Each structure stands twice: as structure tokens, then as C-alpha cells.
């Protein structure tokens, strides 16, 4: 089962992707995680990706496509995968489509987690991250036991640059310009399914699993 998660940054698609991966025993392939690992390890790809991510811009297609196709060719993806954060543009979707067609494969579902922009700005500006161990929190929904301190390793929590309101607004603008057309693309392929992302996390997941079966 090959699934693509669609939705604006902060819509909760990453959380849902992890839950889907666990339920259906398939890998959760997040371009964000791949980029962050490269940034942390100081690779050339990571340095290039960081320049774009820090400005709230999308990483160019050629950087993204190369790393993604390598990942889904790994043996653990033979029974399927959940793509989170890719494709973000029509050219990326077309490249993915061509690559899968050559393998006699195709995307089974494109799940769109729909959340209004104003909800997203509020949601993301409340996020806090531990740069040391990678744990994430939310000041309202998942607060740490001690304000500003990571429960797991005791390091200081920060508001990441890409979660600041002005960066979020920019990311949403980029999303609507470049990623929104994917909804039409996958509707045309007959695989798009939309769920209401403003509901509690468990209810969103329930709606998704009723679609996936």
C-alpha cells in the first residue's frame, strides 16, 4: 500500500503518517526527517537543504527527488510506504509517477488532511523542539513537565525558525501556490481522499483507517 500524505505544514499529516505506518507495518518516509538527518550530520546535501528550510522555502526538486527515490528503493519499502512531505509540487508528482510506472507500481491513496490557515499558525507557533534529542512538544497540547525543558534529556526547548509565525505565513503562501495543485492532480488520478484535520487526532486517524481499510 503506497500512500501520500497531503496537507499544509502543521496540518498534522506527519503524526497521522507515523500512526498509519505503525498500523499497517510499512515505513514512514518523511523528507523532513531525511533532510534533518543530513543537516545534523553536516552533509553537503544537508547544508544546501538548510539554506532553503531556514527561509521557509521548499527544497528544490532535484535535491528532493534524488534522496527520496533512493529511500523507497530500500528493501523495507517492498510492501509499501507512507510518503510525508513529498511530493510538494506537480513536477515532483510527475517524476514520482514516472519512476513508479517504470516499476509497474502506482500510488494507492493520496490522503489530504485539511486544516484552515489560521488554525495552523496558532498550532505551529506553540510548538517547541529539543535540538539535542529531537523530541517535540506543544505549549498547549503536549506541554513538557517543566516549562522550556525536554522531558527526555533535560535540554532547553526552542521555537524552531521554521515554526515562527512569520515563517509559517510564508510556508503557507508557498504551500498554496505550489502544493495545492496536487489536490487536483491526485483527484484526476482517482486516488485523493480528504479528511477534516481540525478534529481530535484520534478521530482523524479513525477517518483515515476507514478509507484505507
Catalytic residues: 13, 88, 127, 160, 171
Q: Tell me the three cell numbers of residue 158.
A: 526552542
Question: How far is it, in rounded angstroms, from Cα 5 to Cα 24?
Answer: 15
DSSP string, 27-48: -EEEHHHHHHHHHHTT-HHHHH
CB count in 10 Å sphere of residue 64: 24
Q: Are 81 and 75 in contact (CB under 8 A)?
A: no
Question: How far is it, in rounded angstroms, from Cα 159 to Cα 200?
Answer: 23
Amino acid at each position: 500500500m503506497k500512500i501520500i500524505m497531503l496537507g499544509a505544514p502543521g496540518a498534522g499529516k506527519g503524526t497521522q503518517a507515523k500512526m498509519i505506518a505503525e498500523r499497517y507495518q510499512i515505513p514512514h518516509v518523511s523528507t523532513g526527517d531525511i533532510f534533518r538527518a543530513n543537516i545534523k550530520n553536516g552533509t553537503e546535501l544537508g547544508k544546501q537543504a538548510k539554506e532553503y528550510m531556514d527561509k521557509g522555502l521548499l527544497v528544490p526538486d532535484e535535491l528532493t527527488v534524488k534522496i527520496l527515490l533512493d529511500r523507497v528503493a530500500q528493501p523495507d519499502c517492498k510492501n509499501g510506504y507512507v510518503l510525508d512531505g513529498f511530493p510538494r509540487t506537480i513536477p515532483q508528482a510527475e517524476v514520482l509517477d514516472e519512476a513508479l510506472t517504470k516499476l509497474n507500481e502506482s500510488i494507492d491513496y493520496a490522503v489530504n488532511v485539511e486544516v484552515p490557515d489560521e488554525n495552523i499558525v496558532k498550532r505551529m507557533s506553540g510548538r517547541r523542539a529539543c535540538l539535542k534529542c529531537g523530541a517535540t512538544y506543544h505549549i498547549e497540547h503536549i506541554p513538557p513537565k517543566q516549562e522550556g525543558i525536554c522531558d527526555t534529556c533535560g535540554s532547553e526547548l526552542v521555537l524552531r525558525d521554521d515554526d515562527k509565525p512569520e515563517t509559517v505565513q510564508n510556508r503557507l503562501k508557498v504551500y498554496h501556490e505550489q502544493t495545492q495543485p496536487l489536490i487536483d492532480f491526485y483527484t484526476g488520478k482517482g486516488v485523493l481522499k480528504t479528511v477534516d484535520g481540525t478534529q481530535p487526532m484520534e478521530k482523524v486517524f479513525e477517518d483515515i483507517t476507514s478509507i484505507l481499510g
